[in-house]
Amino acid sequence: MSDNAETQEVSESQIAVHWREEEYFPPPPAFVQQANASDPAIFERFSEDKFPDCFTEYAELLTWDKPWDTVLDTSNAPFWRWFVGGKLNASYNCVDRHAAANPDKTAIIWVPELEDDETLYISYGELLRQVNEFAALLSDYAGLKRGDRVTLHMPMVPELAVTMLACARLGVVHSQVFGGFSGNACGTRIADSGSRVLITMDGYYRAGSMQDHKVKADEAVAEAARQGQHVDQVLIWRRREGEYQSQTPIVDGRDFFVDEVIGKYAGQEVTPVSLNATDSLFLMYTSGTTGRPKGAQHSIGGYLAYVTGTAKYYQDIHPDDVYWCLADIGWITGHSYIVYGPLSLGTTTVIYEGVPNYPDGGRPWRIAEKLGVNIFHTSPTSIRMLRKVGPEEPFKYHYHFKHMTTVGEPIEPEVWRWYYNFVGKSEAAIVDTWWQTETGGFLGSTLPGLQPMKPGSCGPGVLGVYPVIYDEDGNEVPKGSGRAGNICIRNPWPGIMQTVWGQPERFIDVYYRKYNRDPNSKDWHDWPYFCGDGAVQAEDGYFRILGRVDDVINVAGHRLGTKELESAALTVPEVAEAAAVPVIDDIRGRMVEMYVSLKPGYEASPEMEGKVVTAIETEIGKIARPKNVWIVPDMPKTRSGKIMRRVIASVSNFADVGDVTTLANPEVVEGIRQHVQRTKVAKGDAPRELSETELAEIQAFGDV
């Protein structure tokens, strides 16, 4: 069954949603004065009648080897092609051109997690040297060439940016897997992308201790082999040159330390390959409704133009800013708004190795003060966490943010106000940027110098992006109606992924089939992009994003597919059935709870629960660790045998389970409810009362 078929009857659009209208916050005048976008004429330049040519304004921020002939080619709809005929190199745009103009300017500041370790300042000139040398190694030592895919499984170190930019220099398509993912998850992505080289690091610091990361490379290579993909070379950066942080042996002829090999390439220069705008820059895997992850395939020209333009106008990046995004480069936020967007604009971007609250809740503010950070970007989960561990901490430090971003999850207005008043000291413009792995860059946000902020709403569509809310039948849900529906984007934009790597049918099924008006149409108007999010549009045109309408659980801003979680639980031999549901969490937004039933002859026990947890950590990674595993005698099911996730989700969240009389086994529900809720109450883990939108989400979860 396709993803789309699975999500078809989602009833989000029938849900009436009410919430208190929040007051506006005007952008601070000092911000407006210096903003990149402060003249309302920009809205005119990006008005719908100027589409698609409006986006040449973004493309012109780049240096092209050859200009494009066609701005947007729709002839193979919905596989859009931007800036066709144009040639460029992303590495050149992010490094060489700034190194030539300003070699001593700092490109990257790297902050190690241990506070006593030295902060590293890498100039554009130095970055160019490192990128050149590593590109020489990739091409000569690893034999990589244009169009090859290579998997990266690296932590938050500057070597990751160097590796990405070296790949981009050669036209090698990088596929960075989030460092916190397990070896098996990495192996699956190696196999899917067909990478024969894995680039990793021996270890890194997290929450104060050195993690053995190389051990995951061995698991990844083994898993890839199981799935038919042979990895012949593993390149290992070392966290501390000359020292090896891992316990795992080096495999002769396969594993190489970069610091031992790179000397051979000292001082070498690699000419950036002149690539087509429509060639691919990278793959970024994300979860969907089926177990197989989707490799969102991003272009060079369209993507780089889009992240550069949106970083300039929405994050207000100027070359002399010090910009810090706390996301991980292993997610799309880090690709677009730590590496490619900021470096393309020639600014200084900060990379921080560790967790924000190490060793205490004041750490981010000390970093900001020391480095003179003036643009700060993070997620609601980090904001909630920092607020919990040190609500007054920001005032102890003398930093000043002119601009702040939030991304990845809906932010509660109350949390937004703390961010504004405490972190931003009421001086900063905030943008709540709504977008996705698939979309390359922002979709919804206020333009910070020109549109007021409204806590809890991302704002209208960004420049040149025209969102619309449809009900299940494709009727437009009007703004101000108070009704939720499926938010879609009416038009293509340059940052949109090109396709799902190796699965073009899935690309159409998941993102376009639902609201496509004519499968043969070459007219973009007939192909609204289905985002998979529920949303409401207020009278003023601002969107409030309610969350996913498919089987995806957004844990701390990370997308986890229920099918992936359930398949992981089912690798435990004793488990007969498994279901994953979200539970509302005050810090992480949502957490996962697993329900499993066992095969006959097996008994529930803490060991059995532990096995399920271990299986999930092994198959996916620690980020997916369930809050609880509930072993139940039987799952509540429909007469056709489908597990009723909404019933168990309601149980986990202490919500009304609704009418269960039509189930095949209604009698099991009460037993499960008593067991789960009593245990939670005993542990002091009963959730607060849910808001109306949270209730709606839980009571409709998996309701397909």
Q: Which stretches of the chain bind ligand PRX, using CB under 6 A?
A: 286, 332-333, 407-410, 432-437, 458, 531-533, 545, 547-548, 554, 557, 559
In the bound complex, what is the minimum distance in angstroms from residue 558's beta carbon to ligand PRX?
6
**Taking Cα atoms as reference points, which of 595, 492, 530 lies closest to residue 3?**
530
The tokens for 598 are 């066992």
Report the DSSP beta bridge partners of residue 616: none
CB of residue 704 to ligand PRX, shortest distance in Å: 17
User: Are 488 and 542 in contact, with CB atoms under 8 Å apart?
Assistant: no
Q: Which residue is nearest to ligand PRX (CB)?
A: 437
Closer of 140 and 412 to ligand PRX (Cβ): 412
CA distance 120 to 350: 10
- Cα separation, 97 vs 103, whole angstroms: 9
What is the closest distance, in whole angstroms, from the C-beta atom of residue 444 to ligand PRX in the complex?
7
Q: How far apart are CA 378 and CA 157, in angstroms?
A: 18
The pair of structure tokens assigned to 365 is 């503010």
Nearest-10 crossing angle of helices 692-699, 645-652: 140
Cα-based distances in Å from 647 to 10, 338, 463, 690: 15, 41, 41, 16
Q: Phi first, then psi: what are they for 155, rounded to 5°? A: -85, -170
Measured from the CB atom, is 335 or 402 closer to ligand PRX? 335
Q: Can you read off the two tokens belonging to residue 17?
A: 């949603």
Q: How far is the CB of 219 from ligand PRX (least distance, A)?
A: 24
Task: Say how far apart CA 49 and CA 261 lie, in whole Å.
Answer: 54
| 245, 210 Cβ separation under 8 angstroms | yes
Closest approach of ligand PRX to the CB of residue 514, in Å: 15
Q: Which is nearer to ligand PRX, 333 or 628 (CB)?
A: 333
- Closest distance to ligand PRX from the beta carbon of 701 (Å): 14
Considering the complex, what minimum distance in angstroms separates the CB of residue 152 from ligand PRX?
18
Nearest to 34 by CA among 456, 400, 366, 454: 400
> From the CB of 436, what's the least distance to ligand PRX, in Å?
4
Q: Which residues pair with 533 in a beta bridge?
A: 487, 548
DSSP conformation class of 362: T
Compute the distance between CA of residue 63 and CA of residue 304 in angstroms, rounded to an integer: 11
At CA 672, angle to CA 668 and CA 677, rounded to 5? 155
Instruction: Give 184 or 286: the residue with its C-beta nearer to ligand PRX.
Output: 286
Residue 354 or 532: the one with the smaller Cβ distance to ligand PRX is 532
Q: Which is nearer to ligand PRX, 276 or 554 (CB)?
A: 554
- Give me the least distance between CB of 609 and ligand PRX, in Å please: 28
Whether the Cβ atoms of residue 575 and residue 596 lie closer than 8 Å to each other? yes
Q: What does the alpha-carbon distance between residue 313 and residue 507 come to, in Å, rounded to a whole number? A: 29
- Residue 213 CB, shortest distance to ligand PRX, in Å, is 22
Compare residues 79 and 435 and give the one whose CB is closer to ligand PRX: 435
Nearer residue to ligand PRX within complex by CB, 361 or 589: 589
Element (H, E) at 644: none
Structure tokens at 544: 């409030």
When the beta carbons of 407 and 591 are compared against ligand PRX, the nearer one is 407
Least gap, CB of 12 to ligand PRX (angstroms) = 12
Q: Which candidate, 153, 92, 147, 94, places its Cα nearest to that of 122? A: 94
Residues 686, 673: Cα–Cα separation, whole Å: 13
Question: Least CB distance from residue 433 to ligand PRX, whole Å?
Answer: 5
The answer to whether 428 and 453 are in contact (CB under 8 A) is no
- For 566, phi then psi, to 5°, come to -70, -40
Q: Which is nearer to ligand PRX, 64 or 442 (CB)?
A: 442
Q: In the complex, what is the shortest distance from the CB of residue 553 to ligand PRX, in angstroms, rounded to a whole number? A: 10
Cα 220 to Cα 227: distance, rounded to the nearest angstrom: 11
Nearer to ligand PRX, 408 or 582 (CB): 408
Largest CA-CA distance found in the chain, in angstroms, rounded: 74
Cβ atoms of 440 and 303 within 8 Å: the answer is: yes
Q: Which is nearer to ligand PRX, 170 or 591 (CB)?
A: 591
- Residue nearer to ligand PRX on the CB measure, 346 or 456: 456
Say which residue the tokens 């990088």 belong to: 174
